[in-house]
Amino acid sequence: MRLGGWTRRIGVTAGVLAVLGSVLASPEVSAAEAEPGQPVLPHVVVGKAGPLGAWQAERAVRQAGGTVVAAYPRIGVVVAYSARDDFAATVRKARGVTEVGATRTTKLPLDYFKPRRDLRYTGPGSPTSAQVPPEGTAWDVPALGLDEAHRETTGSRQVVVGVLDTGVDDTHPDLRHAVDTRKSVSCVSGWADRSPGGWRPTLDGHGTHVAGTIAAARNGSGVVGVAPGVRLAAVKLAERDDTETAESMICGFMWAAEHNFRITNNSYRATPWRYHCPGQADQSAIRTAVGRAVAHAQSRGVLVVASGGNGALDLHNRTVDTESPADGTPARREISNDCIRLPHELPGVLGAGAVDEKLVKARFSNHGIGPIGLAAPGVRVWSTVPNGEYAAYSGTSMAAPHVSGVAALLASRHPFWRGDRLAAELQERAMSLPCPEFYDPNGDGKPDATCVPGEDRNSFYGTGLTHAGAALTR
């Protein structure tokens, strides 16, 4: 264990060690916690920022009979498991602890957190692989000016883009050159699991699709990525899309900060809460803990790019959440604009909205001045999926990696620019997209949403369409 390190992974007992499948140092735990079959609830425990805060949080967890599985001294955050129903209430009273939040709404067996050793992908294949357009002819290539940009650079191997997602198939012919396995990791269980291949997908090809949009090889076949010359780091946060938890996100951002990533792409929604509201103890603690991890990554120069969401929502007029908790039975609840999506709406995060082939806002794309910083292709986007296949997906999940790829090209040309400078330049160099005169994506003659113009941006497209050619030649 290293007190000054980016994190410490901490074990539980010999019985639980067998379940978690890793060799860890064993602190004292209660007899109840020593039973590996007992369901537990993961928590984030927040102390004062810094090593002292993390130490106080660890002590409080152990005194309450919980198990510390990861500690992040730099940000004063601890990830803990506990089987006790009164765990959070007890720890909240401890000295030095500021917030505690459960990251699920139901307990789970410890087997659930066991690192995956079945590294063979068993998710769905791609019935559309045979339909992939010849390399370089898909509509997003001219829309972003990739041919023009690639005459300037295809990206530098010094630039590392983290794909925080469901894992990346580094054996795919279009990706095997790009994925740096030394910087790849699984954070699914809430701690950095460096097991060989742990970063690979098992159930969902979403992360592999995102990775291809960023850096698929320009090799004459398949698809071409926005920045095929950069390196990718696969940081696996979940087995399935949109099931990323607070502990996996914290692990991912801390890993990015300490392993010299320039950019992280975050095409997902947090679970179990789709929106995190102040005044709700669990949600507030998650928001604080993830926020500290993101801020730490940003302080190390990392640009955090995130998908803007697929609910066709006006993010300045949110009133109802019908999707939470996502790990149980969702219930309708009233929310306000103070309730935010993670990590998309944290300070300094660059949010991406989606456009279609006509460069008009995709029907599903959320909108709002501020939450949407840029627009990018997000409809029928061809990219890589596991087992050497290809597929066309739609979503703001597909828009964000286009932004990340252009950011990677810009970072390749300007190696000393930090994340905030990259974000500012990306927005400054975007291709202007004015509000449409009449927005009717359903073709029924009725406007579906209202585009709000601003001084230098609007609610549909932010400052405009991210454009690789313009970013490199202006």
What's CA 457's distance to the chain center, in Å? 25
Catalytic residue status for 147: no
**Structure-token pair, residue 172:** 């795919």
| Integer Cα distance of 151 and 194 in angstroms | 37
Q: Which of 206, 259, 296, 344 is catalytic?
A: 206
What's CA 25's distance to the chain center, in Å? 29
Q: Which of 140, 150, 156, 165 is catalytic?
A: 165
Q: Which of 126, 365, 383, 397 is catalytic?
A: 397
Catalytic residue status for 397: yes
Residue 404's alpha-carbon distances to 106, 185, 250, 467, in angstroms, are: 35, 20, 20, 11
Catalytic residue status for 414: no
Sign, CA torsion 438/432/382/198: negative
Give the Cα-Cα-Cα angle 113, 4, 187 (nearest 5 degrees). 20
**What single-letter amino acid sits at 100?**
V
> Within 10 Å of residue 131's Cβ, how many Cβ atoms?
11
Peptide bond into 272 cis (omega under 30): yes
**What single-letter amino acid sits at 26?**
S
**Structure-token pair, residue 147:** 């041919």
| Integer Cα distance of 354 and 365 in angstroms | 6
**Nearby residues of 370 by Cβ (< 8 Å), 6 or more positions away:** 315, 316
**Structure-token pair, residue 448:** 């579906």
- Mind telling me the catalytic residues? 165, 206, 397
